[in-house]
Amino acid sequence: MVRAHNFNAGPSALPLDVLKKAQEELIDFKGTGMSVMELSHRSKEFEDVLADAKDRLKKLMEIPDTHEILFLQGGASLQFSMLPMNFLQEGKVGAYVVTGSWSKKALKEAKNFGETVVVASTEDDSFTHIPEVTVNTLPENTGYLHITTNNTIYGTQWQDFPDFGDVPVFADMSSDILSKKVDVSKFAVIYGGAQKNLGPSGVTIVILRKDLLNQQNSGLPTMLDYTTHIKANSLFNTPPTFGIYMLSLVLEWVEQNGGVEGIQKRNEEKAALLYDLMDEFPEFYTPHAQKDSRSLMNVTFTMPNEELTKDFLQKAKAEGFIGLNGHRSIGGCRASIYNAVPIETCQALAEFMKAYREAHLQSVK
Ligand X SMILES: *Cc1c(COP(=O)(O)O)cnc(C)c1O
By the criterion CB under 6 A, which residues form the site for ligand X?
10, 75-77, 102, 148, 152, 172, 174-175, 193
Tell me: is residue 339 an annotated ligand-binding position. Answer: no
Question: Is 196 one of the annotated active-site residues of the chain?
Answer: yes
Question: Is 276 one of the annotated active-site residues of the chain?
Answer: no
Tell me: is residue 294 an annotated ligand-binding position. Answer: no
Tell me: is residue 42 an annotated ligand-binding position. Answer: yes
Tell me: is residue 222 an annotated ligand-binding position. Answer: no
CB of 148 to ligand X, least distance (A): 5
CB of 192 to ligand X, least distance (A): 7
Q: Out of 54, 158, 176, 196, which one is annotated catalytic? A: 196
CA–CA distance, 342 with 135 (Å, rounded to integer): 38
Comparing CB distances to ligand X, the nearer of 193 and 332 is 193
For 39, phi and psi rounded to 5 degrees? -75, 150
Tell me: is residue 152 an annotated ligand-binding position. Answer: yes
Q: Is the peptide bond before 168 cis (omega within 30 degrees of 0)?
A: no
Strands (E), the chain: 5-6, 67-72, 93-98, 115-121, 142-148, 150-151, 156-157, 169-172, 189-193, 204-209, 286-287, 298-302, 321-322, 333-336
CB of 228 to ligand X, least distance (A): 20
Residues paired with residue 172 on neighbouring β-strands, in sequence order: 148, 191
285 contacts: CB under 8 Å, gap ≥ 6:
277, 278, 301, 303, 353, 357
Strands 5-6 and 333-336: unpaired
Question: Is 48 one of the annotated active-site residues of the chain?
Answer: no
CB of 170 to ligand X, least distance (A): 12
Q: Answer whether 264's CB lies under 8 Å from 179's CB.
A: yes
Comparing CB distances to ligand X, the nearer of 6 and 148 is 148
- Look at residues 140, 138, 189, 149 and name the one whose alpha carbon lies nearest to residue 168: 189
Output the known binding site for L-glutamate: 42
Output the known binding site for pyridoxal 5'-phosphate: 76-77, 102, 152, 172, 195, 237-238
Catalytic residues: 102, 172, 196
Output the known binding site: 42, 76-77, 102, 152, 172, 195, 237-238
